[in-house]
Structure 1
Amino acid sequence: MTSHEYATFLAGSANRARVVTALHEDGTGTVGSISDRLSMSRSTVHRSLRTFTEYGWTRRVDGTYRLTEAGELVLDAYETLIRTIEWVEEYEEFLTHLDDADGTFPIHGTTCANMVSATKDDPYRATTYIIDALTETSADRIRCITPIVSPLFADAARRLLDRGARIELIVSEPSLESAVQRSAEQQSPDSVAGFDLYSVPEDLPFGVTILDGERVLVSAFDDRGNLRACLDGKNPDFVEWATSTYETRRGESRRANVIPDL
């Protein structure tokens, strides 16, 4: 049999996965004990255990079964797959507009994260959510990566600077040049206290905002630069990914020569 056929066998029946999970949770089990525990027919349990033993996933000793190390690994991989599919279904809108995240996006690190997406009736819902988060935060240090330079977010940044927060912002050079052309005048990099602006040569596929290294907002944009969805979370893996992503971009950036007045 091929690896695909092994996987298809396990995934082809919810009962088979339940049998493996029961063995994992109880440590050992007999056909009768598992049948009673799962309210499943003995014949169904027996067929599953017999096949698992043939595959090397379980070991039988005097009528008692236990998972082998291989079985534990297979169960772990299966549960990871199920969690991934559940996550994809829950955050479909966010993933649809999240561009390349270097293949490192911590899907399971978004546990308990709040997802906000734009709707037909409220196309600015995600934008409003991020602005409110920035306006209401008590964070003293805000680090951001953004594909766009928007006056809406500039207003929120002014409020943060006015209360003494420090902001580091990384944008793409094309976005910065466009913002400079739109602004009525420009300021020198040292003229705005607490604000450091950096640029990277290439376009940025998504936005990241880190509030005091404790809370992260990841924003996804459509092809026209419209903010479509935002994921807000505090999971340590999520924060670690965002921090690593920011630091990588920061290492590639250079300080802007001018700050556009938006």
Structure 2
Amino acid sequence: MFQEQGLVNGHEDGIKVTAGGLLFLKVIENCLQTISIESLSYLSRSVHPFILLQALTKHPYRLSELQTISSDLPSQSTIRRILATFAEYEWVSDEGGLQRITATGKDVCFAYGELCTAVEQLIEKAPWLQRLPLDATTFPVAALVDADLVVSNPRNPASVLETCLKLYDRNISQFRCLCSVYNPVLFQAYRGLLELGIESEAILDWPTAKEAAAGRGTRYAVRSGRYDNYRPLVMEEPQTLGIGLYDDRKVAVAAYNEDGNGRHIAMIISSNDQLVDWGSELYESYRAKARPASEILLE
């Protein structure tokens, strides 16, 4: 089941946790700071308790009113049993027949709701998280709700390339990228930003830099003297990640499952401030390891 949900990957040398699996452990740990294992198990057993708890966060209800708030709720006797359990956990109190949620109940409802959202996103974004490096998991999982997912596969191999081309934006003032896949079409398209005078910086991993330097139409990508507004950097180790930062308002992060050739790419695109900040910090961590292209390649 863990492998089906992208929480672990099978390898020749055994089972390895993915970025999604690592994040799953983190969100469970965060949830358990508010909810005990016993009460978490109780909430996870059925959808009915959480529906009732969410309803009580809005305002108090009488028992006779609760069954009408949702078509998904069970019989009144079952609701009564659920409320009795809530009372044992001190999540609700009975005030003259009104079921009122307590401060503890509100905290539990919020924490469990956050957990549900996180798990949904871990499953939905699994193709990306399966490929994301483990050291790149410092973002809040709930922020992925605002992210679009694009996956390249044998049935649709050009989907990510097409999306990258659509992200080309001549109205930005700054563009930064980490590139670990050599694609002449993409290189030629984004050269337009340099021609427009937009401040740009690119970090290429070593295999990509070598291919770019060998291509007549892509040689510019490793030459710092060609454009005053462009700074090329090179990392000496091959990478499995791509980052595109469009000013400080949009980020695209692509992850590959093999060095250099970019097979089966998965990418997220987001304008969520938390993900943009994460993407910028991630980019800077790679930048700190890179060197000017002129120090590595003969121009």
Does TM, scored on the shorter chain, surpass 0.5? Answer: yes
Note closer, same or farther for the CA distance 1:86–1:188 as it changes in structure 2 (3 Å cut). closer
Work out the CA distance in 2 between the residues paired with 1:24 and 1:83: 18
CA-CA distance at 1:183 after TM superposition = 4.9
Which of the residues 64, 83, 98 maps onto 1:32? Answer: 64
CA-CA distance at 1:203 after TM superposition = 4.2
Give the 5 Å matches for 1:113-262: 113-134=147-168, 136-172=169-205, 174-175=206-207, 178-179=210-211, 182-183=214-215, 188-224=223-259, 225-226=261-262, 228-257=265-294
Note closer, same or farther for the CA distance 1:219–1:180 as it changes in structure 2 (3 Å cut). closer
Unaligned runs of 5+ in 1: none
CA-CA distance at 1:180 after TM superposition = 6.7
Higher relative contact order, chain-length normalized (CA < 8 Å, sep 6+)? 1
CA-CA distance at 1:145 after TM superposition = 1.6
Q: Which runs of 4+ in 1 moved over 6 A?
A: 184-187
Work out the CA distance in 1 between the residues paired with 2:270 and 2:212: 32
CA-CA distance at 1:83 after TM superposition = 1.1
Instruction: Determine what percentage of the aligned residue pairs are the same residue.
Output: 24
Does the CA-based 8 Å contact 1:189-1:259 persist in structure 2? no
Work out the CA distance in 2 between the residues paired with 1:232 and 1:137: 18
Does the CA-based 8 Å contact 1:145-1:207 persist in structure 2? yes
CA-CA distance at 1:206 after TM superposition = 1.7
CA-CA distance at 1:130 after TM superposition = 0.6
**Corresponding residue number in structure 1 for 2:32:** none
SS in 1 for 2:146: coil
- Number of aligned residue pairs: 258
What root-mean-square deviation, in Å, do the aligned CA atoms of Structure 1 and Structure 2 show? 2.8
Normalization by structure 2: what TM-score? 0.75
Which of the residues 77, 93, 108 maps onto 2:127? Answer: 93
Tell me which moved more, 123-132 or 248-257: 248-257
CA-CA distance at 1:138 after TM superposition = 2.4
1:59 and 2:93 aligned? yes
Q: Deviations over 1:115-140 (max 9, x none)?
A: 22113232121122212322x54222
Normalization by structure 1: what TM-score? 0.85
CA-CA distance at 1:105 after TM superposition = 3.0
Unaligned runs of 5+ in 2: 1-34
Work out the CA distance in 2 between the residues paired with 1:170 and 1:215: 18
Work out the CA distance in 2 between the residues paired with 1:6 and 1:163: 58
Does the CA-based 8 Å contact 2:56-2:100 persist in structure 1? yes
